Amino acid sequence: MPSCKYSPSFILPQELIDRVIDCVQEDDPLDLQSLGLVSSAWYRRTRYHLFREVELSDGDAQGRCGQLNSLVQSNSVLAKCIKMLYVGAQLKMHEEGEDPWFLSCPKLVDTIALLAYLEHVVLVDIDWDLLSPALNAAFYNLMASPNIGILHLSAIDNMDPSLLVQFHHIKSLTIEDVEVSPPHSVLTGSCFPLNLPSPTPIADQLLRFLTVTKCGEFLKTLMKCLKSSEATLNISQITELTVWAYTFDEDMIEAWPMLLNLCGLTVKTFSVKQTPPSLQDDTESGMYWILPDSIFPFNHLPNLEHIHLHLSYYCLSVDDFRNFMTLACAFDRLSQSDTPSNLTTVNFSIDFNKWNDDIEAEEEGLDVESYLDALSTGKTWVALGDILKRPSFPKLQVFNITFNTSFCAVVPAERRQFAVANIHSQMNGLMKKGVMIGP
Give the count of domains, the chain: 2
Question: Greatest CA separation found in the chain?
Answer: 95
> For residue 175, what are the β-bridge partners?
153, 212
Residue 412 maps to a domain: yes
- What is residue 84's three-state secondary structure? strand
In a domain, 434, yes or no: yes
Check: CB of residue 246 under 8 Å from CB of residue 275. Answer: yes
- 223, part of any domain: no
Mean pLDDT of the region 285-309 = 82
**Cα(first)–Cα(last) distance of the chain, in Å?**
72
Higher pLDDT, 315 or 332: 332
The residue out of 33, 50, 67 marking a domain boundary is 50
- Helical ranges in 122-241 per DSSP H: 133-144, 216-225
Each residue's pLDDT tens digit, 174-199: 999 999 887 666 655 555 554 455 45
CA-to-CA separations, 171 to 93, 268, 298, in angstroms, rounded: 29, 16, 23
158 belongs to a structural domain: no
Distance CA 115, CA 181 (A): 28
Q: With bands split at pLDDT 50, 70 and 90, how would you rate the model's confidence at 358?
A: very low
Which of 35-39, 258-262, 399-403 has the highest average model confidence (pLDDT)?
258-262
356 has a pLDDT exceeding 90: no
Q: Is residue 168 part of a domain?
A: no
For residue 312, tell me if it sits in a domain. yes
Query: Residues 398-404: what's their mean pLDDT?
Result: 86
pLDDT at residue 357 above 60? no
Read off the pLDDT band of 25 (50, 70, 90).
low
Query: Measured at the alpha carbon of residue 196, what is the angle toward residues 195 and 198, in degrees to the nearest 5?
Result: 120
The answer to which of 175-184, 216-225, 275-284 has the lowest mean pLDDT is: 275-284
- Among 30-34, 161-165, 281-285, 301-305, name the most confident range: 301-305
What's the confidence (pLDDT) of residue 6? 52
Domain that holds residue 391: 268-439
For residue 267, the model assigns a pLDDT of 96
pLDDT in tens, 83-100: 999 998 754 444 456 778
What contacts 240, CB < 8 A, 6 or more positions away?
Answer: 208, 209, 210, 267, 268, 269, 270, 271
Q: Which of 127-141, 180-194, 339-353, 384-398 has the lowest mean pLDDT?
A: 180-194
pLDDT at 27 (0 to 100): 61
Q: Kindly state the percentage of the chain with pLDDT values over 70.
A: 80
Q: Taking residues 42-68, what's their average pLDDT?
A: 82
Whether residue 222 lies inside any domain: the answer is no
Most confident of 328-332, 354-358, 362-366: 328-332
Q: How far apart are CA 415 and CA 419, in angstroms?
A: 6
Q: Is the peptide bond before 439 cis (omega within 30 degrees of 0)?
A: yes
More confident residue, 141 or 426: 141
State how far Cα 336 lies from the chain centre.
31
Do the domain assignments include residue 398?
yes
Is the pLDDT score of 129 beyond 70? yes
Q: Specify the pTM.
A: 0.84
Q: Where residue 11 falls among pLDDT bands split at 50, 70, 90? A: confident
pLDDT at 8: 53
Question: Would you place residue 405 in the very low, low, confident or very high pLDDT band (cuts 50, 70, 90)?
Answer: confident
pLDDT greater than 70 at residue 154? yes
pLDDT score at 97? 60
Q: At residue 50, does pLDDT exceed 90?
A: no
How confident is residue 278, by pLDDT bands cut at 50, 70 and 90?
A: very low
Task: Determine contact, residues 396/435, Cβ cutoff 8 Å.
Answer: yes
Residues in CB range of 193: below 8 A, 6 or more apart: 162, 165, 166, 225, 228, 230, 231
Sorting pLDDT into bands at 50, 70 and 90, what band is 407?
low
Is residue 364 predicted with pLDDT exceeding 50? no
284 or 268, greater pLDDT: 268
The answer, yes or no, to whether residue 410 has pLDDT greater than 70, is no
* pLDDT in the model for residue 312: 81
Distances (CA, A) of 5 to 1, 2, 8, 10, 283: 12, 9, 9, 15, 75
pLDDT for residue 324:
83
Is the pLDDT assigned to residue 151 strictly greater than 70? yes
Task: Check residue 366 and give its pLDDT.
Answer: 55
